[in-house]
A and B are shown apart, each in its own frame.
Chain A
Amino acid sequence: GDSVTQMEGPVTLSEEAFLTINCTYTATGYPSLFWYVQYPGEGLQLLLKATKADDKGSNKGFEATYRKETTSFHLEKGSVQVSDSAVYFCAPPRGGNNRKLIWGLGTSLAVNP
């Protein structure tokens, strides 16, 4: 069945460090891919998306490229800030009718000043 594998946390970085959170998936076809972020005590927010292969989604300094050949959608940021401390979820849709999102455990990120 469809699934997502996301890098385990927690990840702890110093401010201005480079961030990579790996995400690979299995799905039928080439669906749109999403990264969501959940700040402490808040609901999930869409961070970025890519709708087709080789697309790069970007927002708030975060980027992720849809790699069809490796079925990956790794999240990157060149210089993290304390305010980026949150839990990040990679969410590829389920294959077939693509109506649901598959959720992994998320990756907790803590950025220290």
Chain B
Amino acid sequence: DTGVSQNPRHKITKRGQNVTFRCDPISEHNRLYWYRQTLGQGPEFLTYFQNEAQLEKSRLLSDRFSAERPKGSFSTLEIQRTEQGDSAMYLCASSSGQVTVNEQYFGPGTRLTVT
């Protein structure tokens, strides 16, 4: 079990550029979550997949954000036309289970800085 991995670990981009992050969950986990975390705050839910289906998306997520999990394995999170307010740590987590929530395992995160 190699755990949840995220790439890249750090990304610096200029305002207005597009960025894409990747998350590889624990292989047998069917659920995958994306969160955003800013300094001094807890994780803020962005979206959630069960297998390849995106079951929920936060209303806080603007149309500039999109996430995919095409084969129910790895996932990508894309941010279009980045803004300075998008600067944050983007966390991915995975878990197993069908009905009730089980513990989530987190990756190390991708730190985005928009200049």
Contact = CB atoms under 8 A, between A and B. Distances in A.
A105 B41 contact: yes
B48 interface: yes
Contact of A31 (B31, B56, B100, B109): B100
Interface in A27-62: 31-32, 34, 42-46, 49
B100 A32 contact: yes
A10 B44 CA distance: 20
A28 to B, nearest CB: 12
B85 interface: no
Contacts of B101: 31-32, 93, 98-101
Contact of B55 (A45, A46, A99, A106): A99
Interface residues of B, number: 25
Q: Is the interface of A mostly helix, strand, loop or mixed?
A: loop
Contact of A43 (B44, B102, B107): B107
A98 B103 CA distance: 11
A45 B105 CA distance: 7
A34 B44 contact: no
Interface in A94-113: 97-101, 103-106
Interface residues of A, number: 20
A73 interface: no
Interface in B41-70: 41-45, 48, 55-56
The residue among A43, A45, A46, A100 with the most chain B CB atoms within 10 A of its own CB is A43
Nearest to A103: B42
Interface string B99-115: 11111111111000000
Interface of B: 31, 33, 35, 40-45, 48, 55-56, 91, 93, 99-109
Interface of A: 31-32, 34, 42-46, 49, 89, 93, 97-101, 103-106
